Amino acid sequence: MIQLEENKSIENLTTIGVKGTTYRYCKIEKTSNLISILKSNSLPIKVLGGGSNILWTKKFNGLTIHINTKGVSVEKETNSHVIVNINAGENWHEFVIWSIRNNYGGVENLALIPGNIGAAPIQNIGAYGVELKEVFVECLAINIKTLKSKVFSVEECEFGYRDSIFKNQEKNNYIITSVKVKLSKKGHHKFATKYGDIEKIVKKNSLSPSKIAKAVIEIRTSKLPDPKQIGNCGSFFKNPIIDEVLFEVLLKKYPEIPNYPSKNKYKIPAAWLIEKLNYKGYRDGDAGVHKDQALILVNYGNSSGLEIFNLSKKIRKEVLDVFEINLTPEVNIW
């Protein structure tokens, strides 16, 4: 039996903790229940996982489906690898810990990313030099309209930087019910240690998935605000990628501009642009920019989603006016 709740408060459903309501809400513990609810529903749908990448800006007059299906299983094992199937409602970080306990490698750099498995392919989660696509095999998804299941291969997902087909052509069309990843076994690990301070913390001759994850956790906890302490949804904007012409113009004006060149394009840290405009630590009512991380917008307690969204619009406009760069939100605006 699926319990449908009416006018449910969304305050505890997202990590930024803004207030509001959803007209209908249900939590799905079994994939078969998902099919029945989809069959009987005629309202617009929103799919919710851990709520760590969503900014709710208005009352939602539809049905919010909260995916909470659990289960992790090794589907195939060779001398060098395992293929693991994980249900969409599993917590991502708990899955990373499970992998490390089994000495499987591939996801250690992605430790402590909030949220659930089902959302991981949506923006091809990434951190510390690794993206989901590097371990991703396929995902199973249900089409919201036809109710047909489809397997999406890594190619079909069209993964990019914080991007996939699920944010483009197939936006709002599918609910991901499980994800398969390929992890390495002892003796076959390939570690990514170049990014951030990992190399400073872990000795080169003693690398292991667990040591890298520990280093990543140490770095992340020292740098990123814990949503349990202060409401936030991680990086609010993507780091923009600009062409050479604009880069040369900016370099003349700001010789210190940090940049990551790739194929005649330049990735610029959005945090640097925002900080340059003195927004670090900015506060307007209960909406603000984190005091140490300019890329993270925060809710000091009673901010509405709209207030945070308006602050993001103000920042975008100023960045565009001053640097001619159009910032794109990484967060899903609802």
Ligand X SMILES: Cc1cc2nc3c(=O)[nH]c(=O)nc-3n(C[C@H](O)[C@H](O)[C@H](O)COP(=O)(O)OP(=O)(O)OC[C@H]3O[C@@H](n4cnc5c(N)ncnc54)[C@H](O)[C@@H]3O)c2cc1C
List the catalytic residues.
Answer: 162, 235, 330
Q: How far is the CB of 247 from ligand X (least distance, A)?
A: 25
Stretch near ligand X under the rule CB under 6 A, chosen from 3-11, 40-48, 206-214, 283-291? 40-48
**Closer Cβ to ligand X, 133 or 314, answer by number:** 133
Cα(246)–Cα(322) distance, integer angstroms:
12
Stretch near ligand X under the rule CB under 6 A, chosen from 31-39, 195-203, 208-216, 228-236? 228-236
Q: Which two tokens stand for residue 320?
A: 């565009």
Give Cβ neighbours of residue 181 (< 8 Å, ≥ 6 apart): 83, 84, 86, 106, 107, 132, 135, 136, 137
Q: Is residue 54 within the footprint of ligand X (CB under 6 A)?
A: yes
Q: How far is the CB of 256 from ligand X (least distance, A)?
A: 25
Q: Ramachandran region of residue 94, left (φ > 0), alpha (ψ -120 to 50) or beta?
A: alpha
Q: Which residue is nearest to ligand X (CB)?
A: 115
Cβ-based burial of 277 (10 A; exposed 0-12, middle 13-18, buried ≥19): middle
Q: How far is the CB of 156 from ligand X (least distance, A)?
A: 15
Q: Which of 224, 274, 289, 311 binds ligand X (CB under 6 A)?
A: 224
Residue appearing with tokens 């909260």: 66
| Site track 73-92 with ligand X (rule: CB under 6 A), x = hit | ---------------x----
Q: Which two tokens stand for residue 114?
A: 């909030």
| Site track 10-39 with ligand X (rule: CB under 6 A), x = hit | -----x------------------------
| Site track 231-250 with ligand X (rule: CB under 6 A), x = hit | -xxx----------------
Can you list the alpha helix ranges (DSSP code H) found in 23-120? 31-40, 92-101
**Closer Cβ to ligand X, 239 or 250, answer by number:** 239
Stretch near ligand X under the rule CB under 6 A, chosen from 125-133, 184-192, 241-249, 300-308? 125-133
Q: Is residue 47 within the footprint of ligand X (CB under 6 A)?
A: yes
Cα(308)–Cα(311) distance, integer angstroms:
5
Q: Is residue 67 within the footprint of ligand X (CB under 6 A)?
A: yes
Q: Is residue 55 within the footprint of ligand X (CB under 6 A)?
A: no
Stretch near ligand X under the rule CB under 6 A, chosen from 119-127, 153-161, 206-214, 315-323? 119-127
Residue appearing with tokens 């395992």: 82
97-116 positions binding ligand X, by CB under 6 A: 113-116
**Closer Cβ to ligand X, 64 or 304, answer by number:** 64
Give Cβ neighbours of residue 239 (< 8 Å, ≥ 6 apart): 161, 267, 268, 269, 270
Residues forming beta bridges with residue 237, ordered by sequence position? 329
Cα(227)–Cα(15) distance, integer angstroms:
6
Stretch near ligand X under the rule CB under 6 A, chosen from 1-9, 41-49, 77-85, 283-291? 41-49
Cα(15)–Cα(260) distance, integer angstroms:
30
159-188 positions binding ligand X, by CB under 6 A: 175-176
Q: Residues in contact with ligand X, total (CB under 6 A)?
A: 32
Q: Is residue 52 within the footprint of ligand X (CB under 6 A)?
A: yes
Q: Ramachandran region of residue 294, left (φ > 0), alpha (ψ -120 to 50) or beta?
A: alpha
Contact in structure between 167 and 60 (CB atoms under 8 Å):
no
- Strands 296-299 and 287-289, how do they pair? antiparallel
Q: How far is the CB of 302 from ligand X (least distance, A)?
A: 19
Name the nearest CA neighbour of 70 among 27, 22, 105.
27
Where along the sequence are the contacts to ligand X (CB under 6 A)? 15, 46-54, 67, 88, 113-116, 118-120, 122-123, 125-127, 175-176, 224, 227, 232-234, 332
